[in-house]
Structure 1
Amino acid sequence: MFPGATADRSSAKYVVVGAPLDVSTSFQPGTRFGPDRVRRFAETYDDYDHRTDQFFSELDVHDAGDVRAWDDTPDYVEWLRGTLTDVVWDDAVPVTVGGEHTVSAAGVAAVDPDVFVCLDAHLDLRDDYDGNPWSHAAVTRRILDGWPGESDVPTVDGVVVLGARTGSPEEWERAAAADVTVVPPEAVSEWTPDFGDDTSVYLSVDIDAADPAFAPGTGTMEPFGLTPREMRDVVRAVAPYVRGFDVVEVNDRDDGQAAALAGKLLREFVFSHADQS
């Protein structure tokens, strides 16, 4: 159980769902251990948040456990979508803990937001990676342009990628379109959301947005990244618009730095979202 997630499912305003998918990782696998590590390394955090004057355990957070993963990615993502849709239908906010970034496609399909905002070192705008359209390297493309062979899956009106610092020529070409905004690492501290009051957002935190000095436990490290404070500030700023949240790409290849950061950012989201409710 995520520490402090003590609410019953029936009364929950936030529902944590683990999604330990670890199929398409292209360098260092281990995201199957992500949900458990995030829970474990959040155990030391105080229940009380001085900034918002709230106790995490009083914010009606429920941990629904993990949706066990298998190796048929499209089938798993569809099943996960159903689980997260149930959370939405119960008027709660789904909070997914990955798992590889592919699981964000399920969260976005369940929430059906206007805009997808993600903290990420990579553009993830490939149409496929090594012939696989369900690779973690193609997830933002799936969210933006749709799922292969599926016509009933909602897509977003726009994408904002914060902290991206690498991509293929084709990805940069897709990123130049009007429905994509890329904010490089050096500009993230100056970025502020300018969404309308009625704009709904899904916020995804790929832990590799952080410089690997802060979060080495991830599949594809990319230097010259963000600081934890910069990521925290984005989460706080975007939280008022958010209908669904995830933190992904934590693995077991460090001493807990990535998991500790992921758990802290998850808490920052809940505190910030609840504070404006």
Structure 2
Amino acid sequence: MTVTLHGFSWDASSSYARGPALAPPVIRAILFSESSSSYSLSGADAREIISAYDFADLPDDGAEAREAISTRIATTLKAGAKPLSLGGDHSVTYPILRAMKEKHGPLNILHIDAHTDLYEEFEGDRYSHACPFARAIEDGCIGTLVQVGLRSTTPDCRAFGEKHGVVMLGAEEMDAIPYDRLTGPLYVSIDLDGLDPAFAPGVSHPEPGGLSTRDVLQILSALPAAPVGADIVELNPERDINMMTAGVAARFVKELAALMAQ
């Protein structure tokens, strides 16, 4: 199974700071740079797995941008490939999941993040990067949602998650991940602020006390099913240090591509 690498340069749904719209071409530029190999840790060559690249511009209007994202993902799925998407802010995940649901039905999701992204609305925006999983749950896109790395949430988001059976785990609770609930169809969403800023400083909302790069790689290696899709979001190149976070994102691209090709 081949993978299409999508780039969604969108951060108009971000709070506090812009910058993630710059991320997709940055990650693509270093993905196969001479500073590292193209192989995953398991020995799969991402150059062979990633068969197509879709980095087209999005409309400025939010609703039109979401529709364009869903359409591009649907096109990839219709072609028989799996979508691996680079954000952009985390709001891009909702329209991705909308398209994924049409193909696969409700998805079981591993969500790595410092935040639950379960707000009913944030700063008046129901499609904010703080809301994608609330919208996806409402639209029936999700079977099981397992969140790992949480350390910045609210009572309202906790209550919403508990109401809908979301598994909400802190970075210190890796051992409690219910892998038996992460069966297919499986989707993986990695917000880079789920990692500790020591490993991923280039994000708009750094939260101390997060996962390490090795923690995330360990979690991915333990997944019981090959993901049908995945995304990596919230890199802010303007806040990165020596391309550290971009390099982490590139490593995750290679590992996810290898898993998706199984």
Tell me, yes or no, whether TM beats 0.5. yes
- Report the 3-state secondary structure (helix = DSSP H, G, I; strand = E; otherwise coil) of the residue aligned with 1:171: helix
Q: Choose 92-101 or 186-195, whichever is displaced more.
A: 186-195
Shift of 1:263: 1.0
Number of the residue aligned with 2:77: 88
Shift of 1:171: 0.4
Tell me how many residue pairs correspond in the alignment. Answer: 254
One-letter amino acid matched to 1:229: R
1:31 aligns with 2:20: yes
1:131 aligns with 2:150: no
Shift of 1:14: 0.3
Shift of 1:157: 2.0
Q: Choose 188-197 or 133-142, whichever is displaced more.
A: 188-197
1:33-52 to structure 2, matched below 5 A, reads 33-42=22-31, 43=33, 44-49=35-40, 51-52=41-42
Structure 2 distance, partners of 1:110, 1:242, is 15
Shift of 1:74: 2.1
One-letter amino acid matched to 2:257: V
Structure 2 distance, partners of 1:238, 1:108, is 19
One-letter amino acid matched to 1:96: S
1:183 aligns with 2:166: no
CA gap 1:196/1:36 in 2 versus in 1, 3 angstroms = closer
User: Identity over the aligned pairs, expressed in percent?
Assistant: 26
Number of the residue aligned with 1:258: 245
Structure 1 distance, partners of 2:21, 2:182, is 37
Answer yes or no: is the 8 Å Cα contact 1:108–1:244 preserved in 2. Answer: no
1:62-211 to structure 2, matched below 5 A, reads 62-64=52-54, 66-112=55-101, 113-146=106-139, 154-189=140-175, 191-195=177-181, 199-211=184-196
Shift of 1:60: 4.6
Shift of 1:268: 0.6
CA gap 1:116/1:210 in 2 versus in 1, 3 angstroms = same
Answer yes or no: is the 8 Å Cα contact 1:160–1:180 preserved in 2. Answer: yes
Q: TM-score, normalised by structure 2?
A: 0.90
Structure 2 distance, partners of 1:38, 1:192, is 30
- Report the 3-state secondary structure (helix = DSSP H, G, I; strand = E; otherwise coil) of the residue aligned with 1:240: coil
Structure 2 distance, partners of 1:184, 1:100, is 21
Answer yes or no: is the 8 Å Cα contact 1:200–1:243 preserved in 2. Answer: yes
CA gap 1:60/1:120 in 2 versus in 1, 3 angstroms = closer
Number of the residue aligned with 1:149: none
Shift of 1:192: 5.0
One-letter amino acid matched to 1:211: D
One-letter amino acid matched to 2:45: F
Render the CA deviation track for 1:114-146: whole Å, top value 9, x for unaligned.
222210100110010011101000111111113
Shift of 1:161: 0.8
CA gap 1:131/1:48 in 2 versus in 1, 3 angstroms = closer
Answer yes or no: is the 8 Å Cα contact 1:21–1:70 preserved in 2. Answer: no
Shift of 1:175: 1.7
Structure 2 distance, partners of 1:239, 1:206, is 21
Number of the residue aligned with 1:56: 46
- Report the 3-state secondary structure (helix = DSSP H, G, I; strand = E; otherwise coil) of the residue aligned with 1:167: coil
Shift of 1:90: 1.3
Render the CA deviation track for 1:56-80: whole Å, top value 9, x for unaligned.
222253222x131343222211111
Answer yes or no: is the 8 Å Cα contact 2:226–2:259 preserved in 1. Answer: no
Structure 2 distance, partners of 1:157, 1:239, is 16
Number of the residue aligned with 2:222: 237
- Report the 3-state secondary structure (helix = DSSP H, G, I; strand = E; otherwise coil) of the residue aligned with 1:137: coil
Answer yes or no: is the 8 Å Cα contact 1:31–1:99 preserved in 2. Answer: yes
- Report the 3-state secondary structure (helix = DSSP H, G, I; strand = E; otherwise coil) of the residue aligned with 2:23: helix
Structure 1 residue ranges without an equivalent (≥5): 1-11, 147-153
Structure 1 distance, partners of 2:182, 2:230, is 19
Structure 2 distance, partners of 1:249, 1:237, is 24
Structure 2 distance, partners of 1:45, 1:239, is 28
